[in-house]
Amino acid sequence: MYDLVPAFPQTQTSRPPMLTIEHWVGNTPLVRLQRLTRHLPHSIEIHAKLEWFNAGGSIKARPALNIIRQAEANGLLHSGKTLLDATSGNMGIAYATFAAARGYRVQLCIPENASPERIKLLRALGAELVLTDPLEGSDGAIEKARELVAANPDRYFYADQYNNPNNWQAHYVSTGPEIWRQTNGHITHFVGGLGTSGTLMGTGRYLRTQKPSVQIVSLQPDLPYHGLEGLKHMPTAIVPGIYDPSLADENIGVSTEAALHITRRLAREEGLFTGISAGAAVCGALQVARELAMQGLPATIVTILPDAGYKYLSDRFWSE
């Protein structure tokens, strides 16, 4: 369906030694949840992809690297240009990681209330930050980035993760094929959160080409005002241009409280120290699993754990 050039090595099953940071993108582990799924029949499996194993520490390494490489190939990003985007943190960290290694300047619009760990990390990687009004959320950061580009179009390469097809295509050529290989084609359900929607769009489209019966389930916060960092409530947010709501067979709304609860359980019962969006993802996967169990159906459910919990340690909920 899509004629794409793979963004990063796709065929290897183990990582090669002694290569650049860019080779440490993709081929992340897929693990089966054990204790959180004890109540389910053995015929229902939930597998989680551990995306903090990517360079830069999150799933965002995949789209960031693809966006940078494709922009270079198309002459949009070169010496003297500054890469600009709005980010809630992880995409910025990924941009800054690869831009540092390639010698590009990076400027990021980020809400002022992003966690202090993320802001410090971005500055440590050399990114220039434009802190935006916290009352306007991530949409305010998007609007600020658009303003900056409009005022100085020649200065910037506007990466525009919300509208750049190289975002979802990164998952089409990497995340999707990896999941297909790692489950030996047995996947029945893919459950993914919506932020830019790139992960769900790219991974879901690839899996559909391999197995049209795969069920694609999207997750988003149940209410517009929420605490699920990294996820968007689509009905009330600026809708990303790359988002196609018709791809998903089902959409699940996850409450912040439920996601925080599962995030704690992932750490304490599975040894998986994750960010909050990972807790939301597993919440959704468990909900799908429960519905299938009630129908007596077997399933191999795969979901994504976008990042580890280190950048959220200042959040109160870890001590609750």
Q: Which residue of 140, 165, 176, 284 would you call a contact of another protein, by CB under 8 A?
A: 140
The crossing angle, in degrees rounded to 10, of helices 90-102 and 116-124 is 10
**From 16, 29, 116, 134, residue interacting with another protein (rule: CB under 8 A):** 134
Among 26, 56, 57, 111, binds another protein (CB under 8 A): 111
Of the candidates 71, 91, 258, 262, which one interacts with another protein according to CB under 8 A? 91
177 binds another protein (CB under 8 A): no
Residue of the chain from 57, 177, 279, 306 that contacts another protein (CB under 8 A): 306
Q: Is 144 a catalytic residue?
A: no
Q: Does 198 bind another protein (CB under 8 A)?
A: yes
Q: Under the criterion CB under 8 A, does residue 284 sit at the interface with another protein?
A: no
Which residues between 36 and 65 bind another protein (CB under 8 A)?
59-60
- Say how many residues touch another protein, by CB under 8 A: 53
**Contact between 259 and 283 (Cβ < 8 Å):** yes
301 near another protein, judged by CB under 8 A: no
Q: Does 207 bind another protein (CB under 8 A)?
A: no
Q: Pick from 304, 308, 309, 311 the residue near another protein by CB under 8 A.
A: 304
Task: Indicate which residue of 60, 144, 232, 311 is catalytic.
Answer: 60
138, 197, 218, 277: the catalytic one is 277
Minimum Å distance from CB 114 to another protein?
5
Residues that bind another protein (CB under 8 A): 59-60, 86-91, 110-111, 113-115, 134-141, 192-200, 221, 223-233, 236-237, 256-257, 260, 277, 304, 306, 316-317, 320
